[in-house]
Structure 1
Amino acid sequence: MKYNKISHLSAALAVGGLMMFSSCSDFLEKEPMSQISPEKYYSTLAQIRAVVLDEYPNTLPSHGNWSYGLFGGDSGTDNQIYVTADNKYTTDRWLVANTHGTWSFTRIYYINFMLTNALARYGEDINGSENTIYGNLSEIKHALGEGYFLRAYQYFNRLKTFGDFPIITEPLPDDMATLTEASKRAPRNMVARFILEDLDKAALLMSETNYSSQYINRDLALLFKSRVALYEATWLKYFKGTAFVPGGEGWPGASYNPDFSYPSGSIDEEIKFFFQQAMAAAKEVGDKYVGNLTANTGKVQQSADEPANPYYNMFCDEDLSGYPEVLLWRQYGRGLVTHNVNAAAGRGNQRTGLTRGYVQNFLMADGTPVYTHGTYADGDGYYMGDKTIADVRVNRDSRLSVFLKEPGQKNILFEPDNGQGTEVVPVEPYPLITLGDDERGYATGYALRKGGNFNRKYYANGGGYTAAPCFRAVEALLNYMEASYELNHTIDGTADSYWRAIRTRAKVDPDYNKTISLTDMNKEAENDWGAYSAGALLTDRTLYNIRRERRCELLSEGFRDADLKRWRSYDQLITSPAHLEGMHLWNTPMQNWYTDLVWNEANANVSAPEKSEYLRPFERTEGQAAYNGCTWRMAHYLNPLPINELMLTSPDGASPSESVLYQNPYWPLVAGKPAEK
């Protein structure tokens, strides 16, 4: 079955309908209701695959509305912002919830239920020597491998959200004592190790079958392993000694894990372990795909007669089977499963725009930083300045010039009269920055066309059916570069070849050493929160440029917040609130694009010129979140546990402080309250 054609009926027979339970920690401890007992149901490959495939759309990345789909995934960071600020950038608007869906085991339970029952028929031998499941053995192994991958993916989401987390590997009985005991949170490094173990099993089981890139596969398991290992290695490194790592000062899990010690012997050895795991997994994938990255012409197609740009089309084609770099993609179908990404890309990205800092952070095509070419506003003739959107695209890294929309560009080249395209804007207008909170407005003036196909037929309201590229192999190259340098403090031959391949594809001078030599960290800090770790400006310019490469290559694909957290880059905002900006509005030709600008009034639609010549979406009117700049609380690196979960797992069912769970650092044990630090 393809990613978009899941048999919900078959899955329902396997595990029953979605059920809501109020019992301990949402473990869904009751056996799924079914007309067929699990002992009989998990007897064929088809039955297992029906359950596995039903988890694809519930677990893996996909298109949605722009603000939370693949190409709005960096929203709420220094890369992309919505027209209003996220509450995490305030001291008092992110409050502890009583209940919240993020603390949920629903999907984990369904996967555990399948694995437990299917593995009972498969046998303990990884080769399936006791297998009694009917079907091709290699395909059975592949399906089980998919199950392990899906569980790992669910657990990684919990690791990023909560840190320490309960490790549950089987469905649990309806017994309060058992459920309470199972609720105990495992130290985060052990959760990460558990995820890597699942991914190792997935890779081994899926090694014999070469499915299409619409299915989870071995290469994907290794890529994801490198992602998880790199995340945990850098988190442990940059939060070392704090309450956010096991054994750190004030770690809330200490009294619940009195005998805790790192399996590697120390936190430093644990960090080394995860970096080594990231390197090994990333290299296996990277070596396979480094010579097969999708080609990039470096240009935006503007005529049906011009050659298409494969790199651009990789993010908006209907069929991605011809792009080997895409390790997993989701297919959509007209009238079946659709999305609104094209409509958003053809307008203002549903009010999610690139920031000025992000635009300035992209290199020039010759590999030099923008600030080496005059001022940001005026440039020197090679860099053309930022007084028009057209100017900032000239002679730049093609990842910016290809995807940043410019007024006057054609958005539609094919089937311009197709009546299905009800939400099409054929020619890019001046950014509609004064539309208030209308979904057709432009938040920063800098809008992306990433994900927008040039064919009008995909622009029906809510009816787009271009594919979603869920995982790209280029991430493995980036993961290896970072992990190897963090561990060994040198660019080895593999990292060198990877970095040059990425820059060559981006139409940027591959000589990264030239860029490093010209890097001024004080200037970079003006544009990039990733120039900091733990509140200190990086002094290692090589490491910084590796981070820059990642930022530019994974443009709007949802990595940025996780990266800033694992690097501990948000600390700087605690003492120095940041003012996120968009295009150069005031005292430029772009100011003349508008006749309805209103500022310094209750109904202001733009920020005032005395604040900055650059548009500040969060600073139009007092009372907006982050009106005085984006700030931070240490607690915000992790989500708070919902109070109801703490109550359910306490002896009397009403005392959060007595729970076998524990609240994350600096969050209170009372619902409706903000972080304490």
Structure 2
Amino acid sequence: MNRIFKSFAVIALGLAGAATFTSCEDYLDKEPSSDISDETPFKDFTNMQGYIEEIYNCIPDKVKCYWTTSWNLGDDEISTPQAEAERTMQTQVDIGNFYAWQNNAQFWFAADRKNPTSLNLHDRRFYGNAWYCIAKTNLAIDKIDEYFVGTKEEKDILLGQLYFFRGWWHFEMMQFLGGLPYVNKTLSSGESPRLPRLSYLECADSVALDLKRAAELLPMNWDETTPGKKTFGKNELRLTKITALAYLGKNYLWAASPLMQHGAQTGGAHTYDYDQELARLAADAFGEVIDFVEKGKTQYELAKFDYTNVYDHQKSSGVEYSYSELFYTSRRNWLQPGGKEAILRGPTVAWNFTRWNYSRTFGPYEICERDPHFHLPTANYVANYGMANGLPLDDPDSGFDKKHPFKNRDPRFYHDIIFDGVKYINGEAKGNDAKFKYAGLATGGSGRDIANGSRTGYWMQKLVPHTANKIDGEDEYDKNPNAYVPYMRLADVYLMYAEACAVLNGPSGKSSKCDLTSIDAINRLRDRVGCGHVSTKFSGNSYMDEVRRERAVELAFEGFRFHDLQRWLLLTEPKYTRKTSQEFLRVSGADESFFAENDPAEAEVAEFREEEILTRNFDSKHYWFPLLRDDTYIYAEFEQNPGW
């Protein structure tokens, strides 16, 4: 007990200086004692909140947990060939080596590098910290009635956080590993655990119970509570009623999904077969969140997609939080990204982890100057970005023209994707650097070197603007850069609500908790970016395809695609195992003068086609990661996942 209390005291004080989560200092203002009694961590709100702060600190930063990282494991991204030698998690998944998760330092979920007291982002990984944090929640829940002295409001807030975290750490592990033992009691030291490994659905039932309790106990806004007044204006990373309801809905939707209902299998025959009752429960939880938001009863809201120059992520005057600032901020005094749309984030540190080696892993090596590992959007995935009229590219009424493939696309395409002819360097590019002034991403172009450029015909800039390069320097220290990808944001709630309601009754499906239908929820997000509404021609399975495509576009490169393909029973299917490049020849802009005077979206090309880079050879065992072998040796009931 002494070690646990001393560790949370140290971490809370340290976070105050190093991270956005500055309010921890106010909860712990004394030196950790060397002779702490069993009751000390739980005796009042100040001490117990400090105890909980260590759990917040254990949340990994998915994109900055190492010098270079992997977080997109689906069909959405491919790395440079050098990264294969470096054994990045994304490349290991490509070759089917799912065991690599267990000790891959570049992967946020890895089992190694667990240090709950460290302020170094490189010391935070999910799996090892998960069991530690679950044990902390159980101990605190057991002790609160025995030792805590305080108001009912204080006790509710403390218990709400503990119940949420117990459910959340289990849920995040379940997404990768399937059903697990659900640890909801304190195990005494020396006790040999014999908890049975539950099915995914049994685990989801336990998660739901904890998240329901959390939703009942947590406040809507900490700043409006008496305990929260002490840290007024610094509570934006803390758990709220909205956080708990949103994850309650996600837990139900995942449980309702085809994989969890029909088991791991190839062929995709059950991809549209969800559990109706679980989908209804999911819709109701999401519906409560959306109803609060739509009626202005919560602090959460969608960020603005309003730009004077979308290619450079230059937001319009008067916009407080832009869409780009969900993921990256600069010139805002190290402000952590996410704004009022982020629902769950962990604490993070700023410039040194942003600048090295994250912010410059999205563009050509010669301009970005970092380790030769960078993130490239696959052509097959970029094809999800439809047309400005809202239709998918392959719809006969979409207006998509292979001679002008970048014209009239979904506005998010121009925000997220660097395509041929986009002005990549705004400053003065001299010598060899001049060839990157305009992105040369046509076949054989200046940016298509496989080792140091793009092997797919695209670069991405959704998460970090292309101006984070050695010439424009938008990620240099004096610009105060900070990067973070939230675990959940409000747009995801609208998307998950749309999916759950589509299960119930297609486009017109809705929850009694909310006025919006499924199609209304999708159109809210399209209205935000100025994209056409979902066509009324889609119904049944074709409508669900549109819901899924919207999810692919809105949440692109945020680390969700693998789990979506997994739960939809599509991970093994040919359309989603191929990674392709975009090949074409320039017609306009052969000498680049065209791009100096015209919007690159207007360029004409020839021979526009995809070519295969690789195909993943997956079978049914790849729907789940293998458990740690050491864990399966603890007791016989903790069985390994099938096929591993």
Code of the residue aligned with 1:662 in structure 2: it is E
Task: Give the secondary structure class of the aligned counterpart of 2:376.
Answer: strand
**C-alpha displacement of 1:299:** 6.3
Going from structure 1 to structure 2, the CA distance change for 1:99 and 1:553 (only over 3 Å counts) comes to closer
Q: Within 5 Å, which residues of 2 pair with 1:27-176?
A: 35-59=35-59, 61-64=61-64, 73=71, 75-83=72-80, 84=84, 86-90=91-95, 93-94=97-98, 102=111, 106-123=128-145, 132-134=147-149, 137-175=152-190
Match of 2:107 in 1: none
Deviations along 1:271-296, whole A, 9 cap, x unmatched?
33421221111111122335842222
Match of 2:639 in 1: 662
Match of 1:600 in 2: none
Match of 2:578 in 1: 579
Unaligned runs of 5+ in 1: 1-5, 14-32, 124-129, 244-267, 375-379, 418-422, 518-538, 595-611, 619-628, 650-658, 668-677
Match of 1:277 in 2: 281
Match of 1:25 in 2: none
CA contact 2:306–2:315 (8 Å) conserved in 1? no
Match of 1:430 in 2: 440
Going from structure 1 to structure 2, the CA distance change for 1:224 and 1:300 (only over 3 Å counts) comes to farther
Match of 1:20 in 2: none
Deviations along 1:504-556, whole A, 9 cap, x unmatched?
12322114314x28xxxxxxxxxxxxxxxxxxxxx721111111111111111
Code of the residue aligned with 2:581 in structure 1: it is G
- Aligned partners of 2:533, 2:314: CA distance in 1, in Å? 30
Deviations along 1:474-524, whole A, 9 cap, x unmatched?
11111111112213345235223212211212322114314x28xxxxxxx
**C-alpha displacement of 1:316:** 1.7
- Aligned partners of 1:344, 1:461: CA distance in 2, in Å? 20
Match of 1:487 in 2: 504
Going from structure 1 to structure 2, the CA distance change for 1:159 and 1:322 (only over 3 Å counts) comes to closer
Task: Give the secondary structure class of the aligned counterpart of 2:165.
Answer: helix
Code of the residue aligned with 1:194 in structure 2: it is S
Going from structure 1 to structure 2, the CA distance change for 1:355 and 1:191 (only over 3 Å counts) comes to same
CA contact 1:316–1:450 (8 Å) conserved in 2? no
- Aligned partners of 1:277, 1:361: CA distance in 2, in Å? 29
**C-alpha displacement of 1:96:** 9.2
> Of residues 380, 383, 392 in structure 2, which corresponds to 1:360?
383
Match of 1:249 in 2: none
Going from structure 1 to structure 2, the CA distance change for 1:270 and 1:592 (only over 3 Å counts) comes to closer
Match of 2:461 in 1: 449
Task: Give the secondary structure class of the aligned counterpart of 1:581.
Answer: strand
CA contact 2:98–2:625 (8 Å) conserved in 1? no
1:179 aligns with 2:192: yes
CA contact 2:326–2:337 (8 Å) conserved in 1? no
- Aligned partners of 1:224, 1:571: CA distance in 2, in Å? 27
> Of residues 368, 389, 395 in structure 1, which corresponds to 2:408?
395
Code of the residue aligned with 2:488 in structure 1: it is F
Match of 2:212 in 1: 200
Code of the residue aligned with 1:396 in structure 2: it is R
**C-alpha displacement of 1:337:** 6.0
- Aligned partners of 1:195, 1:238: CA distance in 2, in Å? 17
Task: Give the secondary structure class of the aligned counterpart of 1:342.
Answer: coil
Going from structure 1 to structure 2, the CA distance change for 1:34 and 1:491 (only over 3 Å counts) comes to farther
Deviations along 1:438-485, whole A, 9 cap, x unmatched?
5xx434231111122558352469994245444211111111111122
CA contact 1:11–1:51 (8 Å) conserved in 2? no
Structure number with greater CO (CA < 8 Å, separation at least 6) is 1
> Of residues 292, 304, 323 in structure 2, which corresponds to 1:311?
323
Question: Identity of counterpart residues, as a percentage?
Answer: 20
Match of 1:641 in 2: 627
Task: Give the secondary structure class of the aligned counterpart of 1:396.
Answer: coil
Task: Give the secondary structure class of the aligned counterpart of 2:637.
Answer: coil
Match of 1:497 in 2: 520
CA contact 1:584–1:590 (8 Å) conserved in 2? no
Match of 2:304 in 1: 295
Code of the residue aligned with 2:342 in structure 1: it is V
CA contact 1:290–1:477 (8 Å) conserved in 2? no
Going from structure 1 to structure 2, the CA distance change for 1:116 and 1:152 (only over 3 Å counts) comes to closer
- Aligned partners of 2:560, 2:250: CA distance in 1, in Å? 10
CA contact 1:148–1:202 (8 Å) conserved in 2? yes
Unaligned runs of 5+ in 2: 1-5, 14-32, 85-89, 105-109, 113-125, 224-234, 267-271, 296-300, 510-515, 593-607
Match of 1:552 in 2: 553
Match of 1:567 in 2: 568
- Aligned partners of 1:341, 1:146: CA distance in 2, in Å? 31
CA contact 2:502–2:544 (8 Å) conserved in 1? yes
Match of 1:535 in 2: none
Q: Give the count of matched residue pairs.
A: 527
Task: Give the secondary structure class of the aligned counterpart of 2:208.
Answer: helix
1:471 aligns with 2:488: yes
**C-alpha displacement of 1:225:** 1.4
Deviations along 1:222-264, whole A, 9 cap, x unmatched?
1111111111111456525979xxxxxxxxxxxxxxxxxxxxx
CA contact 1:444–1:616 (8 Å) conserved in 2? no
1:325 aligns with 2:341: yes
Match of 1:603 in 2: none
**C-alpha displacement of 1:568:** 0.3
Match of 2:532 in 1: 509
CA contact 1:163–1:188 (8 Å) conserved in 2? yes
CA contact 1:364–1:397 (8 Å) conserved in 2? yes
**C-alpha displacement of 1:564:** 0.5
TM-score (norm 2): 0.70
Deviations along 1:356-406, whole A, 9 cap, x unmatched?
1222222211123323469xxxxx9x53437xxxx5432111111221124
Task: Give the secondary structure class of the aligned counterpart of 2:194.
Answer: helix
CA contact 1:237–1:271 (8 Å) conserved in 2? no
TM-score (norm 1): 0.67
Code of the residue aligned with 2:40 in structure 1: it is K
Task: Give the secondary structure class of the aligned counterpart of 2:359.
Answer: helix
- Aligned partners of 2:313, 2:550: CA distance in 1, in Å? 32
CA contact 1:39–1:117 (8 Å) conserved in 2? no
Going from structure 1 to structure 2, the CA distance change for 1:8 and 1:437 (only over 3 Å counts) comes to farther
Task: Give the secondary structure class of the aligned counterpart of 2:522.
Answer: helix
